[in-house]
Structure 1
Amino acid sequence: MRTLFSFLILAAAWTAYSQDKEYRTIFDQRDMRISGLGGPFMQFTSVAGEFGHMMGGGAAVLLNDFFIGGYGLGLTNAIPDYVNDHSNDKLSLGHGGFWIGYSLFGEKPIHACISTLVGWGEFGIMGYDGYYPFIRDKIFTLAPVVELELNLTRYFRIGAGATYNIYTGLDEQRHGYSSENLSSPGGFLSFKFGWF
């Protein structure tokens, strides 16, 4: 009987002690705000030594100042195939994948934003008739981006900055273009709409 009484006292004390402890998670230190963002962006870069304008956009889930989502970019201007001496043929380039980033001090009117575009796509050479590429090659791309963003409204930001496009996986024997021909620095301009 005495053992049973001791056990009940210990169980009651343990229950009272357990109720005082609070269950904690990794997000307890601050309020977690989940929203979204999206919009168009563009790059001004060099493709095979020529000026290249790439246009696209992205959408992401926004977790406080961190965001993760997807993007797509494609070459918009005609770049002649000078490497193979076929100036009537044009280059095509496009890729898409994951868009990951962080806004440093995003609540400030002017702040920095760092992000990375990690994706895959296709490089090709189109015939003079402008139809589907007759030479196609799969590519992998990595493009770190550093921007200075301006909060124009609570729901709209404009960013301008720099990027470096790294392209890998090109088969130079197939079309004459290497990763060095396509990889280059460039400018980056973004228009982000969301709940910041």
Structure 2
Amino acid sequence: MRTSILVILSLLAFSSYAQKYVDTYDPKNEEIKSLLSKQNDLNAFGAADLKVGDLKGERALLVGAYGGFIINRRYLFGVAGYGIVTNVEFDGMVQGQTEMKKLNLHGGYGGLLIGGTIAPKELIHISFPIVLGVGSLEVVDKDFFVNNPADSEFTIENTVFFVAEPGLEVEFNITKYFRLGAGMTYRYVSGSELDNIKDEDLTGTTAMISFRFGRF
């Protein structure tokens, strides 16, 4: 008997709650949850990177910058760009010549930046930046015009390519508005069309240091 009374009371309570929900529910007032909504915390940031890795078997330094927005202190959206700043010299061939000679590599890449951060409020935390975009390279002969020492460079060949570069970075909260990071990336290159350089010569790991500024 006591069990029956409890069941009846439970049904009455559920019925009352359900009726109240039906009476107050208005689908017009229900906002669809999304990453980019006014309820989310949105802050701008900017950063500078130094990357060291191998290009065509030679050690190279790339300098770049990226910026965008941090959503809810965790998700990164923005753009990034990097360029070769050191002299990357290798032995290659010039069309029409039979002997190998010293050639140089110029160029860079950039595109969309996405990523995420684990435990962003902690002193030390992990960040996962990913760059997806395109790049451009030139193979240059610095001594092509031997009779014109003032301007002897000549572009032997050039190309554009697709690049995807995921990374893993350990970040340190130096101040509320400055973070210092260090980590590794893997740069994957596809679609380059050069006689002297292949996709495999541009693909590989890099070590990086990052200086990020913003309201974190």
Same fold (TM over 0.5): yes
Aligned with residue 80 of structure 1, among 60, 85, 89? 89
Residue 95 (str. 1) matches residue 120 (str. 2): no
Aligned with residue 51 of structure 2, among 27, 37, 43? 43
Partner of 2:158: 136
Which residues of structure 1 form unaligned runs of 5+?
Answer: 1-12
The amino acid that maps onto 1:53 is L
Partner of 1:148: 170
Contact (CA 8 Å) 2:58, 2:90: kept in 1 or not?
Answer: no
Aligned with residue 70 of structure 1, among 56, 79, 94? 79
Cα 1:151–1:135, aligned 2, differ >3 Å: closer, same or farther? Answer: same
174-183 or 139-148: which moved more?
174-183
Deviations 1:71-94 (A, max 9, x none): 11001101113243321x311130
| SS of structure 2 residue aligned to 1:175 | coil
Deviation at 1:61, TM superposition (A): 1.1
The amino acid that maps onto 2:69 is V
Count of residues in correspondence between the two structures: 179
Residue 181 (str. 1) matches residue 201 (str. 2): yes
Aligned with residue 120 of structure 1, among 124, 131, 134? 134
Partner of 2:8: none
- CA separation in 2, counterparts of 1:132 and 1:98? 31
Contact (CA 8 Å) 2:142, 2:154: kept in 1 or not?
Answer: no
Cα RMSD (Å) of the superposition? 2.5
Which residues of structure 2 form unaligned runs of 5+?
Answer: 1-19, 94-99, 144-151
- CA separation in 2, counterparts of 1:131 and 1:116? 35
Deviation at 1:16, TM superposition (A): 4.7
**TM value normalised by structure 2:** 0.75
